[in-house]
Amino acid sequence: MLTKEQAGDIFDRIRKISSADEVEVLFAGGRFALTRFANNTIHQNVAEENHSVSVRRAFGGQTARASTNKFDDESLRQVVRAAENLAKVQHPDPDLLPMPDSREAGGSDGSRAKVAVPSRHFAQTAAITPEIRAEGVKQIVGVADRHKLTTAGVFSSGESFEGIFNSRGLSNWHTQTSAEVSITMLAADSSGWQKASSPDVANLDPLRLAEIAAKKAVDSAHPRELSAGKYTVILEPAAVLDIVGFMFWDYSGMAILDQRSFLTGRIGQKLFGDNITIWDDVAHPLQAGSPFDGEGMLRQRVGLVENGVVKRVVYARATAVRMKRSEYRDNVGPIAATGHGFPLPNEMGEMPLNIVFAPTGDPKNVEQMIASTERGVLVTRLWYIREVEPFEKMLTGMTRDGTFYVENGRVQGGVRNFRFNESLIHMLSNVEAMSVPLRSCGEESFDMVVPAMKVREFNFTEVTKF
Amino acid sequence: MKHIANWALNTASTRGASYADVRVMAQRSRAMSTKNGKVGSASDAESVGMNVRVIADGAWGFAASAELGRGAVEATAAEAVAIARASARVKRENVRLAAEKPVVAEWTTPNRIDPFTVSIEQNIELLLKIDAELRAVTGVTLAEANLNFNRDEQWFTSSEGAEIHQTKLSTGAGYAAYAFAGNEIQKRSYPNSFGGQWQNKGYELIEELKLVENARRIAEEAVALHHADQCPEGTFDIILDSSQLGLQIHESVGHPIELDRVLGMEANFAGTSFLTLDKLRTLRYGSDLVNVVADARQEHGPGLGTFGFDDEGVPAQCTPIISNGLFTGYLSSRETAHTIGENRSGATMRAEGWNRLPMIRMTNISLLPGEKSLSLEQLIASTDRGVLMQTNRSWSIDDKRYNFQFGCEIGWEIKNGKRVRMVKNPSYSGITTEFWNSLDAVCSHDEWTLWGTPNCGKGQPQQVMGTGHGAAPARFRGIKVGSAFKGS
């Protein structure tokens, strides 16, 4: 893998070639491998190593980006020229700021708090081989065989780097490992699913995940059809993560300025229940990811929602400056660069990517939620979620891989999958109970630290055929 | 590039691979966008690399590298074989490939104007012109426009003797006007939503799309939607415009016919399919008017699923998928063809890039136009009561591809053969086969467009692929409308 020192040398070469007022170089890449299984056999098994260098040049108010994965002199000359050609034909943008120096980016100018992020690189994870992954899959297949089920899924591992250097002396570097296990267990007319990810493979337990997925497949066999309607639902953490993930694009200063956020005119209002408090916190021990943003600014811990009240949104540097000049400035809470910007130039501005739900004072686990439910539906995961209406945050999607009917405090068996049409505002106002938040992953949104939730009046509008 | 392939093939063979193929790729892309009068993004990217796909001990291995020196290439090939041997630790039977005569060939996307030769100034000027037209309409609060160009050059070489040099070019363009007022955000897009129209052709596509000419109308519709009534809920006849019908085909025909899904190979992520093998040539998928093909050949048109050869080196083909309503074909590969009794792949294997494994992907999955002359206006005129829905706004379907729900940007209520009013937030839902069996009219070829879907996700690690979908407006009888908003 590319090291920070090697990247520094490449940056120096680019800087010598460049005639721009300012230059910024992003580095990304690493090694990644994924073993994929289906029908109780490994059917795809891949590995790759790649790296890229992405050059942004700025001339006054003009900026553009070009990238390549070739590091020879001619390729670097070409990528510098391409960025220049794209930048120089643009009209100057008065909102484009000078690149940050390390003082501003790191907060040592006193503008921002220091955030200590734990190491996310683990030697054991970096050393995972195809044989180790195959052995893990073999164990999962063993569980499937024992339950007379068919299994499909992935076991992946990787080691990656992200870096940024600019001509004002800023340099940041982050390395991380990652491991992920996802398991589907299929029976004749039912299925179960589990997934987990971590920078440290020691935190993953494929056998336990396989047993849970298998139990869900067995317990949901011969699903009955319930009529569509409003139900109390118990959403396991993966289901919560996949649905709430659709609102975090809107916790962005740029989204407010563009009037495409459902929070436009609503910051400071109580939108959700008292029990909903949400942070963005890159340093949380269950989180992953880089501690700096697309301009190299260190990410801050930001309280987005407190006891149901939306407190603020996140900002890239330029967005914060624009917001302070805007008509919204007195009604959006604190305005400051928070270290959540995407690499420039971009249209979206910024977004919180390290979501952590605060624990409730009286957590209930899923079993306790079931025990307290007279009539409801237990949902393992949600699927194919899309936005139907953007301002009430109405979303549609399906349940999948383990949907159960709950009656009189007990799981009564599997039910056919539902389609939901539900407003996130409505849903997060109707949370009756929450578990301890966990690191969770799904397929529709990025990994988060979220609880399971018991939600009343969740709106199922249709039933499918299985 | 032949030397790179030879290094890899020789290493794979020496290490014991019974089959190997190598793809060396150079990919280039340019993306430009504007937002509210300013350049939103401007970027160029290139990525070069190679991969080796092997069968050893009867199992698959794949490795990819950005380094093209001899040492790196040979190490990558050796890694692919080692991975295949690890795969063999958990296998039930050996991989077997349908026979394919190896081809030595060159193929390039036909194009009149290479989009990378068009000046950046000209492109930005066009985007800003569109932007100005959109924002000239009072009430538009956000205007976005984009242009995208891609070139993928690939050298495919196999241990069976295939040598194929193929260059594919694609062009995309589109824009959207947003109007925020009160408690509502409305949006209109042109020529299609989520990136516009994309085809495998040159800059001539941009000239054909009449982007500036339509911008004012689109912006006015976005604002007018605020004053429109909510689309009524109930059971209605609906007419879908060709872009929405293209996405309907993608989701409720294209995905369920992927043989890897049918066989359970995608069960953990994308899902499976209701089209189990017993349904081939027995299931009445749609009404007699439903004729769908999977056609990757250039003569079908410049779709995002058009090519000379797939990424297993199999020449492009046309497979009848639904013939007069009867389900007649799947999308297959060399590995899966035998499961449906075929002795040859249907040529649908494609990879996103040099670092991704080819998988079964839709080519151009198209609903053929009606044979009798029928325009959209004639179709509306022959509809007593219904809703015309245009331009996708949301889409969702279950993991077996039965139950779907689509939302559109704009609807028009039809009464007694006339559009009587604009309606907002139109949506419809149904069950795939019931829906296609309710089709009772398809417009003719003059109304037929080969749409591009540039963002189809599938696989682990996920790959994004472009697919093509030809469609003309069509009418469906007795469809559930508006249940998305039921109970809200």
pLDDT at res. A90: 87
Q: Could you read off the pLDDT of A284-337 as tens digits, one per residue?
A: 999 999 999 999 999 999 999 999 999 999 999 999 999 999 999 999 999 999
Q: Could you read off the pLDDT of B415-434 as tens digits, one per residue?
A: 999 999 999 999 999 999 99
CB contact under 8 A, A419 and B429: yes
Tell me whether strands B318-323 and A418-423 are parallel, antiparallel or unpaired: unpaired
Total-model pTM: 0.97
CB contact under 8 A, A419 and B38: no
Angle subtended at Cα A28 by Cα A33 and Cα A337, rounded to the nearest 5 degrees:
130
Cβ–Cβ contact A184 with B under 8 A: yes
Distance CA A151, CA A136 (A): 13
| Interface test with chain B among A37, A393, A462, by most B beta carbons within 10 Å | A462
Domain ranges of chain B: 2-227, 230-485
Q: Which of A40, A45, A95 sits opposite B61 (nearest CB)?
A: A45
Examine the pLDDT at B144 and tell me if it is beyond 80.
yes
What are the CA-CA distances from residue B275 to residues A188, B263, B328, B382 (Å)?
Answer: 15, 10, 11, 34
User: Locate tokens 């069960």: which residue?
Assistant: B267
> Which letter does DSSP use for residue B447 in this model?
G
Cβ–Cβ contact B152 with A under 8 A: no
CB < 8 Å to B402, chain A? 464-466
CB < 8 Å to A464, chain B? 398, 400, 402-403, 431
- Split at pLDDT 50, 70, 90, the class of A91 is confident
- Split at pLDDT 50, 70, 90, the class of A112 is low
How far is it between the farthest Cα atoms of chain B? 74
Q: Which two tokens stand for residue B65?
A: 């590298």
One-character DSSP codes across A362-423? S---HHHHHHT-SEEEEEEEEEEEEEEETTTTEEEEEEEEEEEEEETTEEEEEB--EEEEEE
Cβ–Cβ contact A417 with B under 8 A: yes
Q: Which of A52, A90, A260 sits opposite B39 (nearest CB)?
A: A90
Angle subtended at Cα B430 by Cα B221 and Cα B451, rounded to the nearest 5 degrees:
50
What are the CA-CA distances from residue B399 to residues A385, A387, B242, B466 (Å)?
Answer: 12, 18, 25, 20
CB contact under 8 A, B92 and A40: yes
Helix axes A4-17, A73-88, angle to 10 degrees: 60
Examine the pLDDT at A110 and tell me if it is beyond 80.
no
- Closest alpha carbon within chain B to A258: B142
Mean per-residue pLDDT over chain A, rounded = 96
User: Locate tokens 């794209």: which residue?
Assistant: A86
DSSP β-bridge partners for residue A310: A305
Q: Which of A135, A346, A459 sits opposite B41 (nearest CB)?
A: A346
Beta carbons of A310 and A266 less than 8 angstroms apart: yes
Residues 419-438 in B contacting A (C-alpha not used; CB under 8 Å) = 425, 427, 429, 431
Q: Which of B120, B357, B460 sits opposite A89 (nearest CB)?
A: B120
Q: Which of B66, B92, B398 sits opposite A51 (nearest CB)?
A: B66
Cβ–Cβ contact A396 with B under 8 A: yes
Q: Could you read off the pLDDT of B403-415 as tens digits, one per residue?
A: 999 999 999 999 9
CB contact under 8 A, B264 and A36: no
Q: Does ipTM exceed 0.90?
A: yes
Cβ–Cβ contact B36 with A under 8 A: yes
What are the CA-CA distances from residue A100 to residues A63, A107, B455 (Å)?
Answer: 15, 11, 34
**Cβ-count burial of B95 within 10 angstroms (0-12 exposed, 13-18 middle, 19+ buried)?**
buried
Cis peptide before B461 (omega within 30 of 0): yes
Beta carbons of B352 and B391 less than 8 angstroms apart: no
Cβ–Cβ contact A139 with B under 8 A: no
User: Quick check: helix, strand or coil at residue A16?
Assistant: helix
**Burial track B28-55 (b if 16+ CB lie within 10 A, e otherwise):** bbbbbbbbbebbbbbbbbbbbbbbbbbb
Beta carbons of A39 and B91 less than 8 angstroms apart: no
Q: Which two tokens stand for residue A113?
A: 């708090």
CB contact under 8 A, A43 and B60: yes
- The mean pLDDT value for B340-348 works out to 98
| Interface test with chain A among B175, B392, B403, by most A beta carbons within 10 Å | B403
Residues 205-244 in B contacting A (C-alpha not used; CB under 8 Å) = none
User: Quick check: helix, strand or coil at residue B56?
Assistant: strand
- Split at pLDDT 50, 70, 90, the class of A115 is confident
Cβ–Cβ contact A425 with B under 8 A: no
Cβ–Cβ contact A70 with B under 8 A: yes
Q: Could you read off the pLDDT of B225-266 as tens digits, one per residue?
A: 999 999 999 999 999 999 999 999 999 999 999 999 999 999
Fold entry, domain B2-227: PmbA/TldD fold (3.30.2290)
**In this structure, which amino acid lies at residue B422?**
M
Q: Could you read off the pLDDT of B28-69 as tens digits, one per residue?
A: 999 999 999 999 988 999 999 999 999 999 999 999 999 999
Q: Could you read off the pLDDT of A219-268 as tens digits, one per residue?
A: 999 999 999 999 999 999 999 999 999 999 999 999 999 999 999 999 99
- The mean pLDDT value for B360-385 works out to 98
Rg (CA), chain A: 24
CB contact under 8 A, B405 and A464: no
- The mean pLDDT value for A61-72 works out to 95
Structural class in CATH, domain A1-221: alpha beta
Domain ranges of chain A: 1-221, 223-466
> Which letter does DSSP use for residue A100 in this model?
P
Residues 265-324 in A contacting B (C-alpha not used; CB under 8 Å) = none
Distance CA A388, CA B430 (A): 16
Residues 171-210 in B contacting A (C-alpha not used; CB under 8 Å) = 178, 180, 183-185
A243 to chain B nearest CA, in Å? 13
User: Of all residues in chain A, what percent carry a pLDDT higher than 70?
Assistant: 99
pLDDT at res. A107: 75
What are the CA-CA distances from residue B39 to residues A98, A319, B43 (Å)?
Answer: 17, 15, 11
What are the CA-CA distances from residue A74 to residues A1, A70, A81, B48 (Å)?
Answer: 22, 9, 10, 14
A339 to chain B nearest CA, in Å? 20
CB < 8 Å to A131, chain B? 86, 89
Distance CA A108, CA A102 (A): 8
**In this structure, which amino acid lies at residue B8?**
A
Cβ–Cβ contact A119 with B under 8 A: no
**In this structure, which amino acid lies at residue B177?**
A
Sign of CA dihedral B372, B375, B380, B382: negative
Cβ–Cβ contact B399 with A under 8 A: yes
Please, how many CA atoms are within 13 Å of residue B309, restricted to the half-sphere of its CB? 25
Cis peptide before A199 (omega within 30 of 0): no
Beta carbons of B245 and B473 less than 8 angstroms apart: yes
User: Quick check: helix, strand or coil at residue B29?
Assistant: strand
**In this structure, which amino acid lies at residue A327?**
E
**In this structure, which amino acid lies at residue B365?**
I
CB < 8 Å to A419, chain B? 396, 398, 403, 405, 429
| Interface test with chain A among B28, B85, B398, by most A beta carbons within 10 Å | B398
Q: Could you read off the pLDDT of B288-305 as tens digits, one per residue?
A: 999 999 999 999 999 999
Beta carbons of B368 and B449 less than 8 angstroms apart: no
What element of type H or E holds A81? helix A73-88
- Closest alpha carbon within chain A to B86: A131
Cβ–Cβ contact A365 with B under 8 A: no
Distance CA A131, CA B86 (A): 5
A284 to chain B nearest CA, in Å? 26
Q: Could you read off the pLDDT of A382-411 as tens digits, one per residue?
A: 999 999 999 999 999 999 999 999 999 999
- The mean pLDDT value for B191-208 works out to 97
Cβ–Cβ contact B358 with A under 8 A: no
**Cβ-count burial of B227 within 10 angstroms (0-12 exposed, 13-18 middle, 19+ buried)?**
exposed
What are the CA-CA distances from residue A278 to residues A115, A274, A450, B448 (Å)?
Answer: 18, 11, 9, 49
CB < 8 Å to A186, chain B? 264, 267
Residues 93-132 in B contacting A (C-alpha not used; CB under 8 Å) = 93, 119-121, 124
Tell me which residue of B4, B485, B449 sits closest to B246, measured CA to CA: B449
